[in-house]
Structure 1
C-alpha cells in the first residue's frame, strides 16, 4: 500500500471495453450456469453449480490480491476524477468492478466443468493435469491481456516478462490456482456423504486461491516490494522464475493425488449405482 502512482489512479477508464467486459463476462457465466445445471441433473450432483458459486463469492477477497500484486482497476473519467467504473465496493483504497465476480467464475471454475468428472472417474493422469494447467494458463493470458491492453485495468508493479502489458507469472499462478482448486474440490466430491458436504467448496476456494497466489507467489510478491532499493530487475527475475518453477512443482505434486482407478462413466439412472455425495 502507498505505492500507487498518481498517473495510474488518474488513468481514464475505457468505457467501451468496460461494457464489453461486464456484459460479455456475465453472459458467459449465464451460459456456464445453464451447462452446470444440465450436467448436474444428468449426473445428479450439485457439484458444478456449487463450484461456480464458490468462485463467484470468492471474488469478494480480490482486494487482498490487488494490494499484493499491484493491480488497479481503472475508474477515472477523462479529466482524472474517479467514478467512471461500474464499481460495487472498495477496500484498501482499491475499487472493485462488478465483473470481478464473473471473471472469477470464468477463470477459476471452468475447469470443473470440463475436467471435474474425468478426475472423479480416474480418467485424468499426470499428463492430462499438465494439459489442463497449460490450457488454463493460456486462457488466463488471453482474458487478462485483453483487459490490461484495452484500458480496463493494469498491473502497475515492476513485473518482468510481460506479454503486452500482462505479467506472464500472473497467468502461471492463476493456472496453478485453477488446477489446485479443481483437484481438491473433486477429491472432496468423492468423499462427502451428502450433497450438503459440497458446500465446503465455499471454504476450499479461498484456501486454494491464497495458497497458490500468496504461498507459491510469495517470492515475486516480496521481490517487487523490497525496501531500500533492493527491488531490482535481476532480483525480480530470479523471484519470477522461482515462482514459475514452484508452480510446476505444485502441479506435479497434485498429480500424485489424482484418483488412479478408472471407474468408467457411472450410470445415473440407477439410484443404487449413483456416486457417493451426488444426491440432491
Structure 2
C-alpha cells in the first residue's frame, strides 16, 4: 500500500478579509504627501551640504521598498485586498499597496534623514540604543494602528501578540531603522567621492535583511515550519531574535564609533614637517 507523504505547509493568508477602503485612501494621500515633503527637504539639505547624499538617502529607501514581499512571506504579513486594493506592484504573487513605498520612506527614511548628521558628529552607544528604543516604540504604534484600521494583518502563529501585532517585530525594525541611520552616518564620515555615496542604495536593503531577516531567522524558521508551530518554542525564539537584533545594532554602533575615533585622530595628528632642503653643493 502506497502512503502519500505530504509535507506540512505554512498557514494560508486570509484572502477573504475586507479592506478598509476609506483608510486606504487616507494612507495613500497622507504618506505620499509626506514623502513629497521629505524629498523636498532632502533636496534642500543636499544644497546646504553641497552633497547629494541626503537626497540619495530618501531615494534609496524608496527604491529599497521593493524588498517588502520577502518580508511578507517570512513574517506572514497579508495586505488586505478582496479585489479593492490599489496595487503598486506584485511580486511572489503578493500585490503590494500603492502606499507601501511612501510608508517605507516615512517610517524608515525620515529617522535616518533627521539623525545621520548628528550621529556622525556625536554618537555614543547609550544614545544609539536610546534611539533604538524610541524607533521600536514608534514602529509598534504605526503597525498597531494600521492593523486595527484594517489595512493589513499578521496571520498564523506569531509570538508576543499585542492588539493583533507580534510585538517582537517592533524590536527587529527598531534595530533596523536605527542601524540604517548609524550606517548613513558612517557613509557621511568616510566618503568624499559622490559616486561612493551611491552605496546607500545597496545599504538599505542589505541592512533591512541583516537586522530583520538575519536576526529574525530563529523565529521565522519556526513560524514557517508548519501550520501549527509550537507556541512555547515560538515565544522563546522571539527573545533570541531580539537579542540578535540588539547585537546587530551594537555592531553597527561600534563601526560608527571606530570611524569617529579615526576621524578625530586624523584631525589631531600634527602635520608632517617639511623635509629640509638639501644644502647647496660645494663648488670647486
User: Shorter-normalised TM-score: what interval?
Assistant: 0.7 to 0.9
Deviating 4+ runs (over 4 angstroms): none
- Determine if the alignment matches structure 1 residue 141 to structure 2 residue 140: yes
Q: 1:4, CA displacement in angstroms?
A: 4.8
| Aligned match of 1:233 | 231
Q: 1:61 aligns with which of 67, 77, 93?
A: 67
| Cα distance, 1:2–1:45 mapped onto 2, change above 3 Å | farther
Unaligned 5+ runs, structure 1: 77-82, 264-280
Q: 1:228, CA displacement in angstroms?
A: 8.7
| Aligned match of 1:277 | none
8 Å CA contact 1:73–1:152 kept in 2: the answer is: yes
- Determine if the alignment matches structure 1 residue 175 to structure 2 residue 181: no
Q: 1:212, CA displacement in angstroms?
A: 1.2
Q: 2:42 aligns with which of 36, 48, 55?
A: 36
1:87-141 Cα offsets, whole Å, 9 max, x none, are: 02222221101111001111211222221001222x1211110121112111211
Q: Which of the pair has more CA radius of gyration?
A: 2
| Aligned match of 2:79 | 73
Q: 1:142, CA displacement in angstroms?
A: 1.5
8 Å CA contact 1:13–1:151 kept in 2: the answer is: yes
SS in 1 for 2:95: strand
| Aligned match of 2:25 | 19
SS in 1 for 2:199: helix
8 Å CA contact 2:159–2:235 kept in 1: the answer is: yes
| Aligned match of 1:274 | none
Measured in 1, the distance between the counterparts of 2:200 and 2:156 equals 32
| Aligned match of 2:253 | 255
8 Å CA contact 2:156–2:227 kept in 1: the answer is: no
Count of aligned positions: 254
| Cα distance, 1:2–1:151 mapped onto 2, change above 3 Å | farther
TM-score under structure 2 length normalisation? 0.84
